[in-house]
Chains A and B, each alone.
Chain A
Amino acid sequence: MSRQNYLVSKSIDVRGVSCPVNAVRAKQAIAALSDDELIEVIVDAGESLIRVVRSINDAGFKIITSHPLENAVAIVVSRVNTAGRPQ
């Protein structure tokens, strides 16, 4: 079974933006979504990815899927936490 694809309507690239500004920008962009929209956040792999994912989780947004890029990762996020991450 291969992983599903999702239709994203927006994209923000925070590669090269240092912590915590990358997370702040990503969260602002996610917060501006409507309930049925998905955004793709492109972030540097490594420590940046860990920080950005942590703050997206903490803010209660929902990461739907992800795709590895070269030295970076594209994560697909929705504003509403439908699947419900255990708190």
Chain B
Amino acid sequence: MSNSNPELAALGKVGMMRQTQPDYYVMRLKAVGGDLSSGQLARIAEVAERYGRGGVHLSTRQGVEIHYVRSQDLEPARIALAEAGVEMGACGPRVRSIVACPGSETCRLGVIDTKPIARELDARYFKQEMPSKFKLAVTGCSSNCTKANENDIGVRGAIEPLWEPASCTDCGLCVSFCPVSAIGRRDGEGSGGEFRYESDEESCINCSVCSSLCPSGAWVVGRKGYTVLIGGTMGRIPRFASVLKRIVESDEELYALIEASIRCYREHGLKKERFGHMIDRIGLENIKEEIIEQAELPRVEKY
């Protein structure tokens, strides 16, 4: 897609892209966290029927696209969608639709409630201009269904397990079921020696398997929060995200870290350079230090 044509760039801003076929356009719709009501779906179907070719395409980012819309129909189609509360998505160097898994609201494995975070991030950042495209994802636990580490910023539910000796029956099962073999059993010193189960902080993926599966409830949730990941991208030059902070316990700190990450990218990112590639150019440790420092500063309120 060429961005040199100002008219096309302007269309991109509102979520419309030119197709291969002359005079046909794609309408990319926004669905925060992949959520749409049945009424909205019905309206999308009507619009696709009336202005497209009666079909939709589901994108990899939980969005719906209506293809084969003629240029003169873009505006009436947009209005018909807007009436039902269906907004246009984003293309180009901007913050894209926020992706989220169902999270703890309905998923048994969920550690965090993902949807309110996705909606908050949408309200704060959707469609804002960035050096390159910018993707955010929220995922409820280490199963990582929405692939937090393939996004420029990923938020993932995380727990830090704590072992309570009084409840442990020494069944040994946690050593076997920990998905990354982070749990080990240690014999105590001396003859009467007490045993201990330990989870290795470095290799633990904060998944909550131990705290939900221990048959005696001896592994409990010590701390619970968000793992914040930065700099992930798939696409032409893939890069897995790096951990900015392992367990963030408050919403306030979560949003401060995200805000500081976005500011950092805006300040240092070159045009068309993805956040992760910027991080590699400057150095992860430097970037992490800058973001964490900035996030700790009290924010000056705008007036």
Contacts and interface: CB of A to CB of B under 8 A. Distances in A.
Interface of A: 1-4, 45-46, 49-50, 53-54, 56-57, 62-68, 73, 75, 83, 85-86
B216 A83 contact: yes
B195 A65 contact: no
Residue with the highest number of chain B CB atoms closer than 10 Å, among A53, A62, A65, A73: A53
Given A1-B187, A1-B193, A1-B194, A53 B217 contact: no
Nearest to A77: B215
Given A1-B187, A1-B193, A49-B176, A54 B170 contact: no
Interface of B: 169-173, 175-177, 179, 187-188, 192-195, 209, 212-213, 215-217
A36 to B, nearest CB: 18
A82 B176 CA distance: 23
Contacts of B209: 50
B215 A62 contact: yes
Nearest to B191: A1
23 contacts: A3-B172, A3-B195, A49-B176, A49-B177, A50-B177, A50-B209, A54-B213, A57-B213, A62-B215, A63-B171, A63-B173, A64-B171, A65-B169, A65-B170, A65-B172, A65-B173, A66-B176, A67-B172, A68-B175, A75-B173, A83-B169, A83-B215, A86-B217
Nearest to A65: B171
Contacts of B171: 63-66
A35 B188 CA distance: 34
Given A1-B195, A50-B209, A68 B176 contact: yes
Nearest to B169: A83
Contacts of A3: 170, 172, 195
Contacts of B192: 1
Contact of A57 (B172, B193, B215): B215
Contact of A85 (B170, B176, B216): B216
A85 B168 CA distance: 11
A73 B194 CA distance: 24
B169 to A, nearest CB: 6
B47 to A, nearest CB: 41
Nearest to B209: A50
A18 B212 CA distance: 22
B220 to A, nearest CB: 9
Contacts of A68: 172, 175-176
A66 B173 contact: yes
A85 B213 CA distance: 10
Given A62-B215, A63-B215, A85-B215, A53 B169 contact: no
Nearest to B170: A3
Closest 10 CB pairs of A and B: A63-B215, A86-B217, A66-B173, A73-B176, A65-B171, A66-B172, A53-B213, A68-B176, A3-B170, A1-B193
A54 B173 CA distance: 12
A1 B194 CA distance: 7
Contacts of B215: 53, 56-57, 62-63, 83, 85
Contacts of B188: 1
Nearest to B185: A3
A75 to B, nearest CB: 7
Contacts of A67: 172
B143 to A, nearest CB: 11
Contacts of A83: 169, 215-216
A56 B175 CA distance: 18
A56 B214 CA distance: 11
